[in-house]
Amino acid sequence: MGNHTTVHTFLLWGFSSFPHLQSLLFMVIFFSHVTILAANAAIMVAIRLSPNLHTPMYFLLFGLSFSETCTTLVIIPRMLVDLLSDSKTISLPECATQMLFFFGLGGNNCFILAAMSYDRYTAIHNPLHYPILMTHQICFQLIVASCITGFLISLCIITIVFNLSFCDSYIIQHFFCDISPVVHLACDYAFHHEMIIFVLSAFVLVGSLVLIMVSYVFIASIVMKMSSTTGRYKAFSTCSSHLIVVSIHYGFACFVYLRSKGSDTFREDMLMAVTYTVLTPLLNPIVYSLRNQEMRIALKKVLDNCSRFIFQMANKR
């Protein structure tokens, strides 16, 4: 190790390369974050208060919305503070905690999406036994299993990353503690570390994506055998929202985490990270609300009740 100085604090360089855009970025990301919280909260309240949405599909959607809300809370508030602050330092334990929760919740999202594809397959393949095969208890077990698996894999990655020695360089070329910009600061980061992290990341992303693709191969084969055009359309329409969300989620995540890295890719990865930390959680509730009539009706009732409550409170004052 020579005369290296051990690093205990990092500097999140993030958007410091764009000093004149930081105020604009703060406004855009702040309003996006408020919209994300409001949209996901509206979906969760609508599912909770609407008896016709007390089905396995919406139970899993509730879990996904809650998980994505937590994911944004791990990253965006800190990002907003750093955009307005001159001091962008983060301690090593804080960095490890942020990475643990971000990748744990990210893995949870992936496995919940896989569970949702299995739910759609079960509903189309065996509609008569669907209430028995997909009970609320089974849905809850799938969500718990997704969470445990996601956090166990995240813990393995964190253990590898933060057992490395960080010396001399302390500037993270990102707005949060992502894997690649952190491990490239380590002075003993080796090929076998990179391969283990790659395999664990691939297990989450590729493993869950394979489960989703297998489910949809079976769904497509079942739907194509249907004689009724109306039946085909109805079957595909129940899956369309999920397919759009899967395409957005995995498209960005696989591009960032399953390709070779270099110091020259950090800025590109950082800009891409804005999409899956801000844009994806913003699009998901929009997709599910716009393409689902039951959800639109439930959300309209929730908004009407909120408006009525606010109006009554205003009149009392």
DSSP the chain: -TTPPBP-EEEE-GGGG-GGGHHHHHHHHHHHHHHHHHHHHHHHHHHHH-GGG-SHHHHHHHHHHHHHHHHHHHHHHHHHHHHH-S--EEEHHHHHHHHHHHHHHHHHHHHHHHHHHHHHHHHHH-TTTHHHHS-HHHHHHHHHHHHHHHHHHHHHHHHHHTTSPBBS--EESSSS--HHHHHTTBTT--HHHHHHHHHHHHHHHHHHHHHHHHHHHHHHHHHHT-S-HHHHHHHHHHHHHHHHHHHHHHHHHHHHHSS---GGGHHHHHHHHHIIIIIHHHHHHHHHHHS-HHHHHHHHHHHHHHHHHHHHHHHH-
What phi, psi does 85 have (nearest 5°)? -105, 145
User: How many Å apart are CA 278 and CA 36, to the nearest integer?
Assistant: 8
Residue 239 pLDDT exceeds 60: yes
For residue 1, name the pLDDT band (cuts at 50, 70, 90): very low
Q: What is the pLDDT, as a whole number, of residue 265?
A: 63
Q: What is the pLDDT, as a whole number, of residue 217?
A: 92
Show the tokens assigned to 266: 């950090």
Q: What is the pLDDT, as a whole number, of residue 191?
A: 87
Per the model's pLDDT, the better-predicted residue between 252 and 180 turns out to be: 180
Per the model's pLDDT, the better-predicted residue between 301 and 137 turns out to be: 137
Q: What is the pLDDT, as a whole number, of residue 51?
A: 87
Q: Which of 38-42, 195-199, 236-240, 261-265 has the lowest mean pLDDT?
A: 261-265
Q: What is the pLDDT, as a whole number, of residue 2?
A: 46
- Tell me what the pLDDT averaged over the chain comes to: 85
With a pLDDT cut of 70, the percent of the chain lying above it is: 93
For residue 14, name the pLDDT band (cuts at 50, 70, 90): confident
Domain boundaries along the sequence of the chain: 9-316
pLDDT, tens only, 17-56: 777 888 888 999 999 999 999 989 988 988 888 888 888 9
Q: What is the pLDDT, as a whole number, of residue 100?
A: 96
Q: What is the pLDDT, as a whole number, of residue 290?
A: 67
| Averaged pLDDT for residues 182-189 | 86
Which architecture characterizes domain 9-316 according to CATH?
Up-down Bundle (1.20)
pLDDT, tens only, 104-130: 999 999 999 999 999 999 988 888 888
